[in-house]
Structure 1
């Protein structure tokens, strides 16, 4: 075939390769489907403008190939056709594969074949570079088109995405467990952000727009947390239905427990927000001492959460020193809770703050201490079920 027809085949292959991500995205979430559709649009629109200037574009790539010293990729087609007309015997021997190895025709054709290969590679490269240079300015339009073609079934789909796993078919279950371990870490990091939100909510001015926005955001995160727990748990259950070693099955049971504990941490974060709502409705104020003690507890809790995520990020190599640090932090949280509980009774008796303020204050402290319990439960699970990997 001629060089320009070969270039047309290259364009067709660009469309053909888009079927792979489209098929792969069929069982994925809305983000996966939109990514595959964006890939299809990118190649389709690129081919449309290329076809409008096809022959000049082919000539450009011929010129680039010659400029690189690789010869004219169009000469092979002409040379072979001329050979058929002028030297039919040589032509027939060529396609029969009976020409001697050192024949000059074979040497010429080998050089021209390399020129064609280089030219087609250059055509594909230049096509993608120019296509990218044009389409990068139309990203906003792409987003709108893709969102229109593949709308989200629910508004939450815009914000809720699993990063490493999908609801698609499972193949190698042992490898899928590794993906689920990564997803657990992402889940824990999302819940960690809820702890920061809860702390900010404590210091937000009551009945303000900031307070309302933070509360709504925390509530949204809690709903997403519930959905993530269900998605990961369902994925793990499907993994368990595949062929797994005994160790793999034990890992899945442990991971289901970890996911449940992380979700409980998210519930406590939103529980803290609901305590603040009740406090607001009761017209109760906190003193600077109460705020200071709550901040201290949040500080301990965030350190414990960070240590837990560190362990989760590589459960196969969980370090003994990190586990011990987590247990020490849990004791600090419990000791602080006990100390604050004792001091609370004294402060109420001494009229440092009102009784009702002390009630809501202790509710928050107890809620935070529960988070510490859930965190250490995750650490316990890592220690008990991944123990042989601990260094």
Structure 2
């Protein structure tokens, strides 16, 4: 080939592949933004039964056009403790079958609709003020780019038909399926998209460079390579999440191994059930029917694999538990957030919320520990207050950094508002920890100077602590449950109690019933409790703003 032919080949291959991948990414992300929240809830709630879990995995993946997104969601749910290993693997089985919808879509000869889809999608994206219509515009844009990229790739491969070296290489794949499987897996690992590598395979086969048998071996390898995404997402997660990701690899790897022995029979079966001869060559040298055969084989392999493994999913889960041992550095990691889950913003937001609730538990423990000592004389939790304050500082730093990175992704407006709210909540929880630490420091002075409060002061502390704890618990439970209607009357009660109790303290001081040192510490504690109530009220205000309402920056 001439240098011009080589340039056209490279430009066509990589330019077409770039358009294809970008179109697939744009379409998948838009589908996730428009339907992801509801699908995420379906994944979370409808997977208690392995058969139902498999169906949900299939349906979710077919809708969002990305098995990687589904498996990353699954890893996130397992890491958050919302799904056990067996449930996760059943969803992955369904996701493997659901992702074959992409190949079936590519196999349709609907390139003529690509440019109209881009035109309509661009108008919807640019001129519509409705967010949902903008998402649909992105879906149409991605759809059109995907097919244009596919056509460019096909045209780019045409000159290779005249090159003996390339023809011999692809013929070699047909006679060496294990090598073809390896090549398909490696290519998918590099490209990070099984849909893209299947698109390349279909382009090669349609151009006439590879026969159906060789293309099938490549497709099998692509099913192994696609598991790398879930395993990357599992980095930094807990042991069970790592087991779920590894289980995805085992499902596909074992399926490919046994299918290699049956490949010739599977190829014959697909040829029988699919109209026309897969390797029929048209006058222009192309193979017009092979795309549908490849898509059907991809679907058939994953369907068979699902039916084979579904009855034995418990045994596969046990095997994963035996192979993946606890990884101490990850298991002991305080904040369980990994940048790898950001590829699926909906699950990343939910995971950040789970960590925020853990942070909230630490803040509550600090308040409870100081109350136990001041009201009940119980020192059991007092020694942990300083440690917990350090935990809150770490959570504040790591969750905030995670949210900043996540906000830079292509996220929906709803996710952006949730992230903004979480910034507020994290900031106020850290402040609650600071004021609890201040009370702890006052307690140290009480112990050092052997200060004793009057019975009246002790009763007043009990009363204001009761309201503070009640307000905090009610507010954080509302946040966890997604409730926007919160009774903030307790905040006014706390302010009122602080004022009244300070007046009572002045009376006791004038009457000589308490010392100046005791009085100063008592007032400091009252002020800190009022500040805890104020920051709890700040959190309540964020929740009352509503699920989709934007909130000003807390800083």
Aligned pairs (5 A) from 1:38-117:
38=243
For the pair 1:351 / 2:517, whether they are aligned, the reply is no
Separation in 2 of the partners of 1:31 and 1:244?
22
Matching residue of 2:90 = none
1:364 aligned residue: 525
Instruction: Specify the alignment match of 1:235 in structure 2.
Output: 402
What's the offset of the Cα at 1:266? 1.5
For residue 202 of structure 1, the aligned residue among 371, 374, 387 is 374
In 1, Cα distance between equivalents of 2:304 and 2:346: 44
**Residues 1:266 and 1:16: Cα distance change in structure 2 (over 3 Å):** same
> CA separation in 2, counterparts of 1:219 and 1:159?
19
2:389 to 214, 222, 227: 222
Mapped to 1, the partners of 2:511 and 2:468 lie a distance apart of 29
Q: 1:198 to 1:143 in 2, by over 3 A?
A: farther
User: Which residue of structure 1 lines up, in the alignment, with residue 544 of structure 2?
Assistant: 383
Give the aligned partner of residue 259 of structure 1: 426
State the alpha-carbon separation in 2 of the partners of residues 353 and 274 from structure 1: 20
Structure-2 change in CA distance of 1:231 and 1:344 (3 Å): same
What's the offset of the Cα at 1:291?
A: 2.3
The higher radius of gyration belongs to 1
Counterpart for residue 360 of structure 2:
188
Alignment of 1:115-126 (within 5 A): 124=309
- Say if 1:16 and 1:128 are closer, same or farther in 2 by CA, change over 3 A: farther
Cα offsets for 1:1-43 (capped at 9, x unmatched): xxxxxxxxxxxxx9999755432223xxx443x3355568999
Aligned to 2:336: 162
Contact 2:335–2:398 (Cα < 8 Å) also in 1: no
Aligned with residue 240 of structure 2, among 35, 51, 73: 35
Q: Distance in 2 between matches of 1:174 and 1:282?
A: 53
3-state DSSP class of the match of 2:538?
A: helix
Match of 2:133 in 1: none
Give yes or no for contact 2:435–2:529 (8 Å, CA) kept in 1.
yes
Question: CA separation of 1:217/1:237 partners in 2, compared to 1, >3 Å: closer, same or farther?
Answer: same
Aligned Cα root-mean-square deviation (Å): 5.3
Please report how far the alpha carbon of residue 282 of structure 1 lies from its aligned counterpart in structure 2 after TM superposition.
1.8
Contact kept? 2:233, 2:341, Cα under 8 Å: no
1:225–1:120 distance in 2 versus 1, CA, 3 Å: closer
- Residues 1:120 and 1:175: Cα distance change in structure 2 (over 3 Å): closer
Cα distance change, pair 158–246 in 1 and its aligned pair in 2 (3 A): closer
Q: Highest relative contact order (Cα 8 Å, sep 6+), 1 or 2?
A: 1
Against the structure 1 CA distance between its residues 376 and 23, is the aligned structure 2 distance closer, same or farther, given a 3 Å change threshold?
same
**Aligned length in residues:** 313
Structure-1 residue corresponding to 2:469: 302
Cα distance, 1:245 vs structure 2: 5.9
Determine the structure 2 residue equivalent to 1:62: none
Contact 1:162 1:228 in 2 (8 A): no
Pick from 467, 478, 490: which aligns with 1:329?
490
Q: Which region of structure 1 is more displaced relative to structure 2, 124-133 or 360-369?
A: 124-133
- 8 Å contact from structure 1 (residues 31, 161) kept in 2: no
Q: Is the 8 A contact 1:268 1:370 kept in 2?
A: yes
Aligned partners of 1:333 and 1:123: how far apart in 2?
A: 62
Q: SS where residue 344 of structure 1 aligns?
A: helix
Gap regions ≥5 residues in structure 2: 1-222, 251-264, 266-278, 280-301, 551-555
Q: Distance in 2 between matches of 1:158 and 1:253?
A: 28
Structure 1: state its 5+ residue gaps: 1-13, 46-76, 78-95, 97-116
The structural deviation recorded for 1:191 is 2.0
> Match of 1:284, SS?
coil
Separation of aligned partners in 1, 2:383 and 2:244 = 35
Q: Is the 8 A contact 1:15 1:40 kept in 2?
A: no
Matches of 1:218 and 1:194 in 2, distance apart? 5
SS of the residue 1:168 aligns to: helix
* CA–CA separation in structure 2 for the residues paired with 1:31 and 1:171: 15
Tell me the residue number matched to 1:104.
none
| CA offsets 1:92-148 (integer angstroms, 9 cap, x no match) | xxxx9xxxxxxxxxxxxxxxxxxxx99998975676556777998x8xx9766x43x
